[in-house]
Structure 1
Amino acid sequence: MSEPTPLPVEPTYRVLLVEDDAADALLVEELLYDTGLRFELTSATTLAQARHELTHRQVDCILLDLHLPDLSGTNGVTTVRDLAPHTAVIVLTGLSEQQAGADAMAAGAQDYLVKGKVDADLLRRTVRYAVYRSHTERASAEAQAARLRAAENARLERGLLPQPMLDTSTVTVTTRYLPGREQALLGGDFLDVVEGDDGLLHAVVGDVSGHGPDAAALGVCLRIAWRSLVLGGHRGPDLLHLLERILVAERGPQFLFATCALLTLDQTGGTATVYLAGHDTPLITTAEGTREAAAAHGIALGIAPEVRSWPATVIPLPPTGALTLYTDGLTEGHSGATGGERLGVEGLLALIERLPPSDPGALIDLLIKETRARNAGRHTDDLAVLRLDWHGRPPTA
C-alpha cells in the first residue's frame, strides 16, 4: 500500500492586534487560542506603536480597532494600509458600528468583525480568508508589475537595439544579441548595419570592457555615434578617432575601453574593407567552408588615444559567401562541460565545420546553443553576432 499523502502544514500567522481596550484585547487573544491556529501575537495600543511594530517586523494579519487614542475611523485603515500595503487588515467594530465595518472594507480592509458577535470558528475562517486574499492581491500586483516591466523592456529593446538601414542592398543581414547579466536588456556589446549614400554596406561590432549598466550605456552611445558618423560620411581611421574621442568623454572616471571591427562591403567590386581596433578577425564563409580572414590589427579604443593606429585590410570576396563579425562572448567559454581550455577561434571553426547546413539564422542560433552548452552554464559575457550573406554580384550599371 502506498503511504498516505501528508496534509499540508498549517502556517504560523503573525498577527498584530491594535486595540487600546485591555478587556477587548484579552478577549481577542483568548479567541485566537481557541481557533486552533498557529500564531504569533504582537499587541499595540496606539497607531504610533503599530507603526513601530510594522517597521521592525513582518506581519501577516492586522486586527485593527477603529477607535484609537491617536486615530479614529476609517482613516486608521488607510494609514495602516499605507504602512503595510500587502498585509491583511481585519477591522474590529462595536455592536452599533456595522456600517463602519462596511466603510472600512471600502477603505481597503479585507474584512470586519463585530465585537461581541465573534466566536473561534468565525475568527479562524476570517483570518485565513483575509490572509489568503491579501496574498492573492499581492501576487496579482506583482504579476501586473512584471507584465509592465516586460512591456517597457520590449519598448526599450526596440529603441536601443538597432534595425539595419538597408535601401537597395541585396545582402542578407542576420544578428543575434545576448547580454551576459541575468535579466539584463543590454550589455556592453554593440552592433549595427547601415547602407550609405555611396551604395556600400557599412557594419560594426564592438565590445566595451567590463559589465553592468555603465558598460551597457557606453555601448549604446558608441553604436548611435557610429551610425550618425557613418551617415555623415566618416570612414576608416577618421571614424575610429571620433569614436575614441566620444568614448573618452563619456566613460567618466572609469577606465573603460572598447574593441570594435568596422567593415565596408562593396558587393559590386567584390571586396570588404576591414579595420580592427583590438577586435577579433571576421570569419569568411565560401564554398570551401569557413575560415578566419587575414586582417591587420590596430589598437583598442581608449587604451592609448594618442596612438591612432588602425590599418586597413581589403579582403577579396567570392561571388557568393558570408562574413561574420562577433564579440568574444562566442569564443571565451570553455571547450568542455568540465572546464579545460577556452574554446577560442580554432574551437569555434571546428564547431562550425561539424554543424549541419542551415539558413544563417538557424546556424547562428545552433552555434550559440552549442558554445553555451560546452560552457556548462558559465556564460557571463555579453555576446553579439552579425552575419552578412550575399548570393552573386548585382549587375553593374
Structure 2
Amino acid sequence: MTETRTGSVETAYRILLVEDDEGDALIVEELLEDTGLRFELITRTSLDEARTELTRGPVDCILLDLHLPDISGTKAVTTVRDLAPHTAVIVLTGLSEAQAGTDAMAAGAQDYLVKGKVDADLLRRTVRYAVYRSETERVSAEAQAVRLHAEENARLERGLLPQPILGTSAIAVTTRYLPGAKSALLGGDFLDVVEEDGLLHAVVGDVSGHGPDAAALGVCLRIAWRSLVLGGHRGTELLHLMERLLVAERGSLPLFATCALLTLDQNARTATLHLAGHHGPLLTTSRGTHELRATHGIALGVAPEVGNWQPTVIPLPRSGSLTLYTDGLTEGHNGAAPGRLEVDGLLTLIESLPPADPATFLDRLIEEAQTLNAGRHTDDLAVLRLDWDAP
C-alpha cells in the first residue's frame, strides 16, 4: 500500500523488472503506464543486481526475463523464488519458447507472458492475479506454520503438564503454567503429582534457559521423575538418577535444572522436602502464609555426582495448603518499588488478596504479580498448590 499526495491510501505495486534488453524493458514500462495500475518500477539487468535490490526491501511482483547475462532458464526462477519466496514472479518468454512458460510455472512462477503478445489489459490482469496468488500462498504457509507450532506445543504440553495420579486422599491439587516467551505455549518449567502407597509426591522444576531445548529437557525430567517415583525411588537416590538423565540428555548444551521434591504424609501430618537449587514452598494456615525453611542442595547438572541433598521433615497443621512455584513468580519487578518482587514481596502480595478458592486465588496472585512486573522481566512460571483439611 502507498499513500497518495492527498493522504488517501490506494493499492500500489512495487515491481522489479529483471531484463537486460533495453528495448524490451522500455516496452514493459510503457505497457505498465497504460494499465492504470499505481506502481513503482525498478529495472535491473542481471540476477546479481536483482539480488542486491531484494536485500534493500520487499517488492510485490518480479517480472523476470529467462535469459540474463548471469543465469537463464528455470534455474533463474528457482533462484529468484529462493531470494523472495513470498513474492509473485511473472516470467517473460520469447515467441519461440513454447514450453518455457509452462516449465517456469512448474519451477514456481505464478504466471508467464510472451513478449510481443502482451497488451495493457493482459498485463494488468496478470500482475494483479499473480500478486493475489502469491499473497494467498504466503498466508497459507503462515497458517501451516502456526498449526505445526501448535501441534508441537500440544505434544510438549502432554509431557510438561500431565494429569496428576491421585488415589483416595482428600488433597486438592491446583496447577498453573505460563511461558515467558510471548510466542511460546510452553517453556522449561515442569511439575507433577503422584500418589503412591498412601503418600502424595510432588515435584516442581525449572530448566535453565528458554525455548524448545529447555522444554524438551523439562519433559524428560518430568517423565523420569514420575517413572522413578512409581518405581519406588525416593529422596537423594531419586535426585541422583534425575541428574544422570539430565547430563545424558543435555549433550553439549550448558543446561541445568533446579527442583523441589515434596512427599506429603497426611496420616503423619508431615512434609518431607528435598531442594536442589530451588527455593522452599509456602505454607498457608489460618494464621497466614510463610516460607518453609529447609536444607538446600546444589542444582541438578551444575556439578554432577557432587550433589548431597538432605531431607527436611516439617510438621503440618490439620488444615492448610502448600504452594510450590518456580522463580518466574518472584523475579519480576515489584511495581514502583526498586528491585524484584522476591519472596518477601510475594508474601505481602498474598496477604493483601481476599480469600478465595485455590484456583481463583492462584489466578489473582499471578495476575497481580504480572501487573507489578509490567512486562519488564519474562520468565516461565509454574505453580503447584496442595490443599488439605483433615477430619
Please give the range of the TM-score, normalised by the shorter of the 2 chains: 0.7 to 0.9
SS at match of 2:9: coil
TM-score of the superposition, structure 1-length normalised? 0.80
Kindly state the Cα deviation for residue 370 of structure 1 after the two structures are TM-superposed.
0.7
Q: Is the alpha carbon distance of 1:368 and 1:85 closer, same or farther for their aligned partners in structure 2, counting shifts above 3 Å? A: same
CA distance in 2, matches of 1:207, 1:146: 26
Structure-2 residue corresponding to 1:163: 163
Q: Is the alpha carbon distance of 1:104 and 1:244 closer, same or farther for their aligned partners in structure 2, counting shifts above 3 Å? A: closer
Q: Is the 8 A contact 2:333 2:377 kept in 1?
A: no
CA distance in 2, matches of 1:250, 1:205: 19
| 1:14 corresponds to 2:47 | no
Structure-2 residue corresponding to 1:351: 349
CA distance in 2, matches of 1:80, 1:171: 63
CA distance in 1, matches of 2:374, 2:366: 13
Q: Summarize deviations over 1:150-193 as a string: whole Å, max 9, x none.
A: 23322332234332222434322111222323423443322111
Question: Percent of aligned pairs with the same residue?
Answer: 72
Structure-2 residue corresponding to 1:187: 187
Kindly state the Cα deviation for residue 341 of structure 1 after the two structures are TM-superposed.
2.8
CA distance in 2, matches of 1:144, 1:213: 19
Of stretches 180-189 and 76-85 in structure 1, the one that deviates more from structure 2 is 76-85
Q: Is the alpha carbon distance of 1:120 and 1:156 closer, same or farther for their aligned partners in structure 2, counting shifts above 3 Å? A: same
CA distance in 1, matches of 2:122, 2:20: 19
Q: Is the alpha carbon distance of 1:346 and 1:79 closer, same or farther for their aligned partners in structure 2, counting shifts above 3 Å? A: closer
Structure-1 residue corresponding to 2:32: 32
Structure-1 residue corresponding to 2:282: 283
Q: Which of 364, 372, 375 lines up with 1:374 in the alignment?
A: 372
Q: Is the 8 A contact 2:13 2:61 kept in 1?
A: no
CA distance in 2, matches of 1:256, 1:91: 50
Amino acid at match of 1:340: P
SS at match of 1:166: coil
Structure-1 residue corresponding to 2:388: 390
CA distance in 1, matches of 2:122, 2:85: 24
Q: Is the alpha carbon distance of 1:350 and 1:121 closer, same or farther for their aligned partners in structure 2, counting shifts above 3 Å? A: same
Name the count of aligned residue pairs: 381
Q: Is the alpha carbon distance of 1:101 and 1:236 closer, same or farther for their aligned partners in structure 2, counting shifts above 3 Å? A: closer
Q: Is the 8 A contact 1:372 1:379 kept in 2?
A: no
Structure 1 runs not aligned, ≥5 long: none
CA distance in 1, matches of 2:303, 2:66: 70
CA distance in 2, matches of 1:378, 1:300: 26
Kindly state the Cα deviation for residue 368 of structure 1 after the two structures are TM-superposed.
1.0
Q: Summarize deviations over 1:117-140 as a string: whole Å, max 9, x none.
A: 544455345424432442233223
Kindly state the Cα deviation for residue 96 of structure 1 after the two structures are TM-superposed.
9.8
Q: Is the alpha carbon distance of 1:249 and 1:118 closer, same or farther for their aligned partners in structure 2, counting shifts above 3 Å? A: closer
Kindly state the Cα deviation for residue 146 of structure 1 after the two structures are TM-superposed.
1.6
Q: Is the alpha carbon distance of 1:237 and 1:115 closer, same or farther for their aligned partners in structure 2, counting shifts above 3 Å? A: closer
CA distance in 2, matches of 1:38, 1:292: 67
CA distance in 1, matches of 2:381, 2:118: 63
Amino acid at match of 1:208: V
CA distance in 1, matches of 2:83, 2:190: 44
Matches within 5 A, 1:89-168: 89-92=89-92, 109-111=109-111, 113=113, 115-116=115-116, 118-120=118-120, 122-168=122-168
Q: Is the 8 A contact 2:13 2:39 kept in 1?
A: yes
Structure-2 residue corresponding to 1:296: 295
Q: Summarize deviations over 1:317-367 as a string: whole Å, max 9, x none.
A: 23332111111211122211x450321212111111221222212211211
CA distance in 2, matches of 1:203, 1:64: 63
Amino acid at match of 1:344: E
Matches within 5 A, 1:42-53: 42-44=43-45, 49-50=46-47, 52=48
Of stretches 109-118 and 367-376 in structure 1, the one that deviates more from structure 2 is 109-118
Q: Is the alpha carbon distance of 1:131 and 1:250 closer, same or farther for their aligned partners in structure 2, counting shifts above 3 Å? A: closer
Q: Is the 8 A contact 1:18 1:62 kept in 2?
A: no
Structure-2 residue corresponding to 1:318: 317
Amino acid at match of 1:202: H
SS at match of 2:264: strand
Q: Is the 8 A contact 2:159 2:219 kept in 1?
A: no
SS at match of 1:358: coil
CA distance in 2, matches of 1:248, 1:71: 52
Q: Is the alpha carbon distance of 1:154 and 1:116 closer, same or farther for their aligned partners in structure 2, counting shifts above 3 Å? A: same
Kindly state the Cα deviation for residue 66 of structure 1 after the two structures are TM-superposed.
7.2
Amino acid at match of 1:388: L
Q: Is the alpha carbon distance of 1:54 and 1:220 closer, same or farther for their aligned partners in structure 2, counting shifts above 3 Å? A: farther
Amino acid at match of 2:87: T
Structure-2 residue corresponding to 1:199: 198
CA distance in 2, matches of 1:102, 1:213: 42
Q: Is the alpha carbon distance of 1:360 and 1:98 closer, same or farther for their aligned partners in structure 2, counting shifts above 3 Å? A: same
SS at match of 1:335: coil
CA distance in 2, matches of 1:212, 1:128: 40
Amino acid at match of 2:42: L
Structure-1 residue corresponding to 2:270: 271
Q: Is the alpha carbon distance of 1:123 and 1:254 closer, same or farther for their aligned partners in structure 2, counting shifts above 3 Å? A: closer
CA distance in 2, matches of 1:201, 1:371: 29
CA distance in 2, matches of 1:209, 1:146: 26
Q: Is the 8 A contact 1:54 1:83 kept in 2?
A: no
CA distance in 2, matches of 1:314, 1:354: 29
Amino acid at match of 1:193: V
Q: Is the 8 A contact 1:87 1:131 kept in 2?
A: yes
Kindly state the Cα deviation for residue 236 of structure 1 after the two structures are TM-superposed.
1.5
SS at match of 2:198: coil
CA distance in 2, matches of 1:15, 1:195: 66
Structure 2 runs not aligned, ≥5 long: none
CA distance in 1, matches of 2:206, 2:149: 26
Amino acid at match of 2:152: E
